[in-house]
Amino acid sequence: MKTVIAYSGGKDSTLALYNIQQNPEYEVDSLLVTLTEGFDRVSIHGVRYAMLKQQSESLGIPLREVWIPQDCPNEVYQDRMGKAVSGMLEDGVTHMVFGDIHLADVRAYREKMLEGTGITPVFPLWGRDVGELGREFIERGFKTVLTCIDMEQLDRSFAGRVYDADFLRDYPENCDVCGENGEFHTFVFDGPNLEFPIRYELGDERVTPDVVTGRDRFLFRDVVPKRI
């Protein structure tokens, strides 16, 4: 079954990819990524396009890019994503994999988006315990760094931290340890399905406001290619 992975560069989509790669029934065709024009970054996660391309090279899987404008209206997003789905169908893709774990409204949106297209959504992590998934991610040898945090849920010191056993010990008990409620986003820089680790260093911090309240809320920590 020819399959596209809905990919952000973060830990959940990478773990979903890894799970699918263990099943010989699936043939991974490409990584579907949404990028923001003008910023040249992964939408929401804020990771540089250059770093995403290194991930693609290390994974040995090509990118299938969808570029959207800043402050993208929903109708524009739907149009561009629809064109991407049409391209997948032309290439013989039959399935699309998502890294969602337990947000029912998000899953329903994905399913509605693909309804009637001929592409079947797949959720390999769905219903798993988030604590178990977090530990599995670390124990399998994956390494990821936090590129964005919600400062209304996490202390700003978590931005730029590596997701490891020490991170899990320090993480607030009342927050989702997989970041499913938007607590954080990540960039995977090593793991069992990467051919080589991605060398990086932390760059500048940038704070953006909540669009509803106007209060400073989201802290992005830039991840840049490591200088030799």
Q: What is the mean pLDDT of the chain?
A: 95
Confidence of residue 89 (pLDDT cuts 50, 70, 90): very high
pLDDT of residue 43: 83
- pLDDT (mean) for 127-142: 97
Q: Report whether pLDDT(75) > 90.
A: yes
Confidence of residue 212 (pLDDT cuts 50, 70, 90): confident
CATH code for the part of the protein at 2-122? 3.40.50.620
Same fold, 2-122 and 134-225: no
Q: Report whether pLDDT(40) > 90.
A: no
- pLDDT (mean) for 140-149: 97
pLDDT of residue 202: 97
Cβ-proximal residues to 43 (8 Å cutoff; 6+ apart), any chain? 34, 35, 36, 68, 72
Cβ-proximal residues to 174 (8 Å cutoff; 6+ apart), any chain? none
Q: Report whether pLDDT(39) > 90.
A: no
Structure tokens at 151: 């400062």
pLDDT of residue 46: 86
Place of tokens 């990524």: 33
By CB atoms closer than 10 A (0-12, 13-18, 19+), residue 23 is exposed
Instruction: Please write the tens of the pLDDT for every residue from 150-204.
Output: 999 999 999 999 999 999 999 999 999 999 999 999 999 999 999 999 999 999 9
CATH code for the part of the protein at 134-225? 3.90.1490
Domain ranges of the chain: 2-122, 134-225
Alpha helices in the chain (DSSP H): 11-21, 49-59, 74-90, 104-114, 130-139, 165-170
Separation CA 116–CA 185 (nearest Å): 31
